[in-house]
Amino acid sequence: MAQICSWQGMRTMSALLLKERTRDDVATWKRRINGQGLDSEES
């Protein structure tokens, strides 16, 4: 696996993996999560 050298690189790699494995991007996942009513950690 490629070495990650910065937080931006980590975020980019995470977004690429999410898209590759789920076929949905970060924005789509954020909408899904926000639509679930998970406003607090207790939820």
pLDDT by residue for the chain (43 residues), tens digit each?
566 579 898 899 999 999 999 999 999 999 998 888 777 777 6
Give the per-residue pLDDT at 3. 65
CB atoms within 10 A of CB 11: 12
Helix, strand, coil shares of the chain, percent, nearest 5, are 60, 0, 40
Whole-angstrom Cα distance, residue 43 to residue 36?
10
